């Protein structure tokens, strides 16, 4: 049992919290990697779990979770995950990665698409996001105005010259 004497919440006057768990609409987003860690699935297989938050636009601060099955027993799943994870860390500007913490606070562009959720090999009917095509954020160079050319000297007729 857990003691709740220090909770200090008036449970009679709670405000309803607003959460939006709908998937993001399909499109391209700027994401920041806010969490990334190696975990173990219920089946005992390790994988990388990353939390990406939308960094700008209408859906700013919305989160998606991406799993990379780098240790999966199915070679096809493992190869796809390895490619996607490699794309992520390259988009973060890393040539090599030795710790998931290297990805934290990195900003990338990626695409989101909708797919049907599958749990334990069975489609649930829910739509979820699939995040893919990680790219570096393009740096926008500041606009530099070209100096305006000096006005062209008026052509004069030599006959008008006083000397």
What confidence tens digit (pLDDT) does each residue in 91-110 have? 999 999 999 999 999 999 99
User: In terms of residue numbers, what domain contains 87?
Assistant: 27-136
**Residue 94: CATH number of its domain:** 2.40.50
| Nearest residue to 31 via CA among 112, 127, 98 | 112
Predicted TM-score (pTM) of this structure? 0.74
Q: Is residue 161 part of a domain?
A: no
Q: Is residue 68 part of a domain?
A: yes
Q: Is residue 154 part of a domain?
A: no
Q: Is residue 67 part of a domain?
A: yes
Residue given tokens 């960094």 in the structure block: 55
Q: Is residue 38 part of a domain?
A: yes
Do 67 and 77 touch, CB atoms closer than 8 A? no
d(CA 26, CA 129): 8
> Confidence band (pLDDT; 50, 70, 90) for 21?
confident
What confidence tens digit (pLDDT) does each residue in 34-45 have? 999 999 999 999
**String of DSSP letters for 1-15:** ----TT----TTSPP
Is pLDDT at 11 greater than 60 in this prediction?
yes
Q: Is residue 9 part of a domain?
A: no
Do 68 and 89 touch, CB atoms closer than 8 A? no
**CB burial string 2-16: b at 16+ within 10 A, e below:** eeeeeeeeeeeeeee
Give the chain's domain count: 1
pLDDT for the residue numbered 152 = 58
Q: What is the mean pLDDT of residues 58-63?
A: 95
Do 111 and 133 touch, CB atoms closer than 8 A? yes
DSSP annotation of 65 reads E
pLDDT for the residue numbered 133 = 96
What confidence tens digit (pLDDT) does each residue in 99-157 have? 999 999 999 999 999 999 988 889 998 999 999 999 999 876 666 676 666 555 555 55
């Amino acid at each position: 049992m857990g003691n709740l004497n220090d909770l200090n919440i008036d449970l009679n006057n709670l405000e309803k919290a607003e959460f939006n768990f709908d998937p993001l609409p399909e499109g391209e987003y700027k994401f920041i990697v806010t969490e990334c860690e190696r975990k173990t699935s219920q089946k005992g297989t390790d994988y990388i779990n990353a939390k990406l938050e939308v960094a700008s636009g209408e859906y700013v601060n919305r989160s998606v979770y991406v799993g990379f099955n780098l240790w999966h027993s199915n070679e096809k799943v493992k190869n796809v995950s390895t490619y996607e994870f490699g794309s992520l860390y390259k988009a973060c500007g890393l040539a090599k990665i030795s710790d998931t913490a290297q990805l934290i606070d990195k900003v990338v562009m990626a695409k989101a698409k909708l797919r049907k959720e599958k749990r334990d090999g069975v489609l649930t009917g829910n739509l979820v996001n699939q995040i893919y095509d990680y790219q570096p954020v393009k740096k926008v160079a500041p606009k530099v105005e070209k100096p305006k050319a000096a006005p062209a000297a008026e052509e004069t007729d030599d006959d008008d010259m006083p000397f």
